[in-house]
Every structure is written in C-alpha cells, then in structure tokens.
Chains A and B, each alone.
Chain A
Amino acid sequence: MKLTTKLMAATALVAAPAVQAAELEVTHWWTSGGEAAAVAELAEAWEAAGNTWIDGAIAGSGGTARPIIISRIIGGDPMAATQLNHGRQAEELIEAGLLTDLTEVAEANNWAEIINPPSLLEACTFEGRVYCAPLNIHSAQWLWLSRDAYETAGVDVPNDWNEFVAAAPALEEAGIVPLAMGQQGWQQNIAFGDITVAIAGVDNMLAVLRDKDADVAAGPEYTAVFEAVATARELARDSNVQDWNLATNMVITGQAGGQLMGDWAQGEFQVAGQVAGEDYECLPGLGLNQVLDTGGDAFYFPVIDDEETRAAQLEMAEMLVSPEVQVAFNLAKGSLPVRGDVDLSAANDCMQKGLAILASGDGILPSGDMALSQDSTIQVEDLMAEFWSSDMSAADAQERYVDIISSAD
C-alpha cells in the first residue's frame, strides 16, 4: 500500500480494500471475559478488511508471557504483532533493531496531534521514531467504595482518603473490613502509589519516580506517605485474600469498605451487575488530588523480513488507533481511549470521571511503568510485600525505599 493511498484512506482505513489479504499472528495476554471480548473487537475489525487474525493468547502477564514473547523475538521467529506495556520495556528490542518502525503510519495519521495525553506517544517514541501503537489507557489511582458497607455501618460514604480513614472505626464495629487488600506485592505497590499521589502530591512523586531524587524520597512528604501506608496496613489487617479480584469482590459484597485498585476493577463491578454511583462509588486520585496516571497497553510489531508482512503490520498499527476501533475496544475493556476526539457517551459514571480528568489536561502522571525501570519496580513491590505482611515500621520502610530510589536507573 502506497503512502499516498494511506493518506487518503486515513479516516476510514478498515474499509480500504486495496490491500492484499494478510495473515498476522498476534500475541497478547488478554484472556479474561472482558479482555477477550475487547480482543475480539480488534480481530473483527482486522478481518473485516479481509485479513486473518491468528490469535496467540497466553494468560498471565509479565512472568509468563514475556519470556515467551522475547524468546521468539530474539530467536528470529517472531509473531507479527504483540502486546507489551508501553514504556521502557521495549527500549532494548528497539536498540537491537528487532521492532518495526511505525513512524510513517504515525505521521500519515497525525498521531502527534490526536493522541492524548501526548505522553502515550512519547512512550512509544525512541530517538524520534515511533515503534508502537498505543491502544488504551489504564490508571491505577482509584479508591473503590461499597455503598452497602457504609450504609450498614451507618456512616456517610467518604469523599476522600481522609474521610475514609476517619470512617474506618465505624466499619470495624459493624464487622466490616475497612480496606480490602490482596496480599501480593504489585497490589500493595499500587496502594502505595495511590497514597503517594494523594498525600505527597504530583510534583514530589515525579521528583522521585522520574528524577530519582532520593532527598525527596527521604523528606517529610514521603514520611507522611509511609505513615499513611502504615495506617492503611492496619485497616487491611483482616483482609486475607490473595487475588485482586477477590479483594474487589469483598467490596462488591459489602464485606469491605473500599479497595485501592486500578480502573480494571470496574470490570468486576460490571460483571456483578453493579452500577457506578448507585452500588459503588469511585474516587480518582483518592479524592484528594484529581490525577491519574496513563499506563496502558500498546502493540509492538517485531521485524519480519517480508515486505508484505511489513505492510500488513503498518496497516494493523493504523487500525488500532482508528476512532472506530478505539471506541469498540475500550468500551469492551473498560479502559479509556488514547484519543480525545471520539464519542464515549456510552461510558459509565466512573469512566466519565476519568475522561474528564484526561480532557482537562492537568493531573496526568506518567505511569510508574514509564518512569521506573521494571527492575526497580520489582524491588519496590518486594518492599511493599514485606511491609504489608509484617510489622515493619514506616521509618524502616522509608529508609529502604530511599535505598532503592538512589540506586535506581
């Protein structure tokens, strides 16, 4: 397909009939109900253009899927397209020349203008070239609350984290766990990140995560953060579930007052037939700081030495960002679209809150994924896992956190 044709067909790409039918193998780790439905939207759009989508789903992100994806890429027998969280994960693959340059598609479709927030495209960009197609936005800074639990305890549903902490004794008296927490490092790390945004504020958080400023991490704002996390640990004492969705289920059933978790928790509420604003409440940025990070998923296209495949890869990249696919995919997945110019009126209350924050332009954080390396993230997760399951003091935890930040790269 010629570039000029592409320019002309830019807005209605899926209908472009000029392209030869292509067969692309796509690897991803979206295997749950809602996720699979979202992938089905992608596959449908792709096949509507006369192509074939060969689905290579592998459940279990990170630890399970990544060695498989990377082995196949460095083994010289890659899939045609693969999901990876965008950010620093793919830098080395790009440096090694193993990923397809998508710059021509990005320029032809004016991604620089339409993708909002721009940090998403930045995360895909390496030395001025674009290497991935951002697909959606997930944010982690949400406090999910059970109306039922607060009604049972006879107190008002909190409007921010401070009220949440203040209302905890009433919940405990009613036999309700104030804070549901799955006992896994990554979940506890999300809670830590959420509390950091709410209490230390965006500037301090960026100083630590992006600039690796250990002094800020050792400073009074972070002391307050660690003390708040210690409080949260007390509130979650009686929560002994492991999986995040089981923790969400405690909120759904009113066994727990709230949960700190990313927006994917909404899928659970939806499956349980709950309605945002009626059965459950959501507080982005914990009600204190209206900010969200903009992590999310992106597709990368390993280099395959075949001109037709390359053309098909570019075509798929273009399709992923197209308005139709963005709407269909994100409504199914419960995530936010990567472009602000699409109509999402079908979205529920909580999604609308998220969209409003994105549209306002302030209060957008880089995702931890983009700022800290995966290596440092794991170290923080380990620290959190240990902190939450022991009696480690807030001061000790802060000290070890400072160590991790000062040696981070």
Chain B
Amino acid sequence: MVDVAMTGPRGPKPKKAFSSRNIMLYGILILISVYYLLPLYVMIVTSLKGMPEIRLGNVFSPPLEITTAAWTKAWSQACTGINCDGLSRGFWNSVQILVPSLILSISVASVNGYALSHWKFKGSETFFTILIIGAFIPYQTMLYPIVILLREIGLMGDLGGLVLVHTVFGMPILTLLFRNYFTSIPEELFKAARVDGAGFWGIYFRIMLPMALPIFVVAMILQVTGIWNDFLFGVIYTKPDTYPMTVQLNNIVNSVQGVKEYNVNMAATLLTGLVPLVIYFASGKLFVRGIAAGAVKG
C-alpha cells in the first residue's frame, strides 16, 4: 500500500493521440503553464536587463541587450550596510543554519509520527491536536514568548536556539505527514516484529526507517523551503557575522531609500531562491511519491 504512487496514472484512458479532446487537454495545460511560468519569466528577463531598459520597456519584453551585471552585483557587490560583498556572504551561513535544523526537525518529527501511529498512549492524540492547532498560529505572535523561553534556558543568541525554533515550528505539519505515513504501514509487519521481540527503537530503525524514504524526501523538501526562506528567526538568533542569506536579500530588496534597482532585486531574489528551486526541480517525482504516501492516508 505504501507505494501506491509508483503505479501509473489511474484516470480514464484517452482515446487517440491526436483526438480533438487531446488537443484541448494539452491546450488547457499549456495555457495554465503560462500562468505559472509568467512570474519566473519576468524575474529572469528583468534580471538580465540594464536599468535604462527597465524604465522604458514593459516587464514582458525580452532584454535587447543581455547583461549579467545585475547577477554579479547581487552575488558579490550589493551592499548590506557597509559590507559590500552581496549575497555570497550569507550563502554559507544559510547552509550552516539549514543542515542542523533540517536534521533535528526531521528526526524529531519522524519519531513523533511513529509514536503517534503505532505506539499511541493516553493523551497522545490530544498533544497531536494541539500541534495541529499550532500550525495555524502566525510565527510572529509567538516571537516574544519564544525569546523569553530561550533566554530562560540559555539558548538565546545561539545557533542551538535557532535550530530549536525551526524544529518547533516545523513540527506540526511534519508530524502530520509522518503520522499518516506510518499509519499506512501494514499492521502485520509491526506485529511480526513485536513477536520477534523488537522494541520501540528496534522497530523504528530496522523496519520503519528503511521504508520511509519517500516521506523523508517530502519532509526534507518542505523544511528546506521553510528554513531557507526564513528571515525573522534567522536574523534574531544570529550575529551579523552569521546572518543568513535572506537578511542580505531583505537589505537589497527593502532599501526604501535611494533608487530601486529592479534588475538587482530580481537577480538577488532568484539567487536566494535557487537552493529550494533546484531541489524542487530535481526531486519532483520523489516529492509526489512521498506526498502520496504521507498525505493520502488521513
């Protein structure tokens, strides 16, 4: 049951290759694709233009003169305060924030989901319900309580604090996904392992983990997006030397004073979005597979 997604499409079979129905189908799909691709196209085209051309032309026209100056500037010259070395400064910082946050949040959520699916205990569903409600709370309103909490446990201003925050806010949705996924693993497997004398951790590591690759991929993709795009927590729990990439992006895009360099903004935006974008483009198929396994079994 786990690998439902690996089988092919289940919809009704189209009749002929070039039936009028097929032409309509592809026509609609292509039209919708235009809507989805338009912003990306605009961003790329704008980032390749020079400022004079941007002021004159419309946003859709292809660049008359292709220049990568905006990209160079965004990557290595744009200023953050008095440091003019662009986004490059933040890239490795972001990676250093991403990796531990990713590992901890996914480990915790997968164990949660596992406990909630096969090892329910009194109150476990209540805690889960609270988590789900937590998914609806805007992060910003939790800012001060969290700051106070971290101050009390001595993790304020520490990378550990940031990792903890990402773990906490990633927990609701990830736990939901893992729980749904592990629930769909056949009961017989679990029982057989119990008979063999395997305990909580034994079953988790020997049976569940190896089967859970697709859902780990989904969790990873969701978390990479969330953590990489995070600005608020990243800036509060780090020091200027370790600001994530989004801080530089914010500074480039939100500098309200002075002339807005749209091409640099767009290039910076694309550069910052590159990591999640690449992951999406590279793992599209795995993502659907994992989603199929994690989301479908409600």
Residues of A at the B interface (CB closer than 8 Å) are: 25, 28, 30-36, 39-40, 43, 53-61, 64, 67-68, 71-72, 74-77, 243-246, 264, 267-268, 271
Contact = CB atoms under 8 A, between A and B. Distances in A.
Contacts of B252: 59
B150 interface: yes
Interface in B219-268: 232, 235-236, 239-241, 243, 247, 250-260
Contacts of B144: 71, 74
B238 to A, nearest CB: 10
A56 B232 contact: no
B82 A57 contact: yes
Contacts of B258: 32-35, 245, 267-268, 271
Contacts, number: 111
Given A68-B235, A271-B259, A58 B247 contact: yes
Given A71-B143, A264-B257, A57 B81 contact: yes
B157 interface: yes
Contacts of A77: 151, 156-157
22 contacts: A30-B81, A33-B258, A34-B258, A36-B81, A54-B239, A55-B81, A55-B82, A56-B240, A57-B83, A57-B251, A58-B251, A64-B250, A67-B236, A75-B148, A75-B156, A76-B151, A76-B156, A243-B256, A244-B256, A245-B256, A267-B257, A268-B259
B33 interface: no
Most buried by B among A28, A67, A244, A268: A67
A59 B251 contact: yes
Contacts of A271: 258-259
Contacts of B255: 31-32, 59
Nearest to B157: A77
A40 B80 CA distance: 11
Contacts of A43: 82
A356 B250 CA distance: 38
B126 interface: no
Contact of B241 (A28, A54, A246): A54
Interface residues of B, number: 33
Contacts of A76: 151, 156-157
A72 B256 contact: no
B20 interface: no
B58 interface: no
Nearest to B83: A55
A245 B260 contact: yes
Contacts of B236: 67-68, 71-72, 75
Given A32-B255, A67-B232, A57 B80 contact: yes
A57 B81 CA distance: 5
A393 B82 CA distance: 47
Instruction: Give the 9 A-B residue pairs with the shortest CB-CB distance, closest first.
Output: A57-B81, A77-B157, A32-B258, A32-B257, A56-B240, A59-B251, A75-B156, A60-B254, A59-B254
Contacts of A245: 256-260
Interface string B147-158: 110110000110
